[in-house]
Amino acid sequence: MDKNKSLFKYNTFGIDVVAKYFVSFSSLDELQNVTATNSFKLEKLLILGGGSNILLTKDFDGIVLKNNIKGINILKETKNDVALEIGAGENWHQLVMYCIDKNYGGIENLSLIPGNVGAAPMQNIGAHGVELKDTFVYLEAFNIRDRKIEIFKNKDCEFGYRESIFKKELKNKYIITKVVLKLSKHSHKINTNYGDIQKELEALKITNPSIKDVSNAVIKIRKSKLPDPEQIGNSGSFFKNPVISKTIFNQIILKHPNIAHYVLDNNNVKIAAGWLIENAGWKGKTISTYGVHKKQALVLVNYGGTSGKDIYELSCKIIKDIKEKFNIELEREVNVI
State the catalytic residues.
162, 237, 333
Residue 333 found at the interface with ligand EPU (CB under 6 A): yes
Give CA separation, 105 vs 71, 84, 87, 191, 229, in Å: 19, 12, 19, 11, 27
Contact indicator for 115, 53 with CB cutoff of 8 Å: yes
> Between 174 and 193, how does the x/- string for binding to ligand EPU read (CB under 6 A)?
--------------------
Q: Is 115 in the site for ligand EPU (CB under 6 A)?
A: no
Query: In the window 213-232, what residues touch ligand EPU (CB under 6 A)?
Result: 225-226
Per rule CB under 6 A, count of chain residues that contact ligand EPU: 18
What length does the chain have?
Answer: 337
**Does 206 sit near ligand EPU (CB under 6 A)?**
no
For residue 188, give every residue at least 6 positions away whose Cβ sits within 8 Å of its Cβ, in sequence order, or none.
105, 106, 210, 211
DSSP string, 122-158: HTT-EETTEEGGGTEEEEEEEETTTTEEEEEETGGGT
In the sheet that 136-143 helps form, which strands lie side by side, from edge to edge? 72-77, 81-87, 174-184, 136-143, 148-153
Is the CB of 99 or the CB of 297 nearer to ligand EPU? 297
Q: Residue 168 CB, nearest distance to ligand EPU (Å)?
A: 18
| CA trace torsion 85, 335, 279, 294 (10° rounding) | -70
One residue of 51, 121, 236, 291 binding ligand EPU per CB under 6 A: 236
Which residues, numbered 271-310, are part of the site for ligand EPU (CB under 6 A)?
272, 274-275, 278, 283, 296-298
- The reply to whether 332 sits near ligand EPU by the rule CB under 6 A is no
Q: Using CB under 6 A as the criterion, which residues of the chain lie in contact with ligand EPU when the complex forms?
A: 127-128, 225-226, 236-237, 240-241, 260, 272, 274-275, 278, 283, 296-298, 333
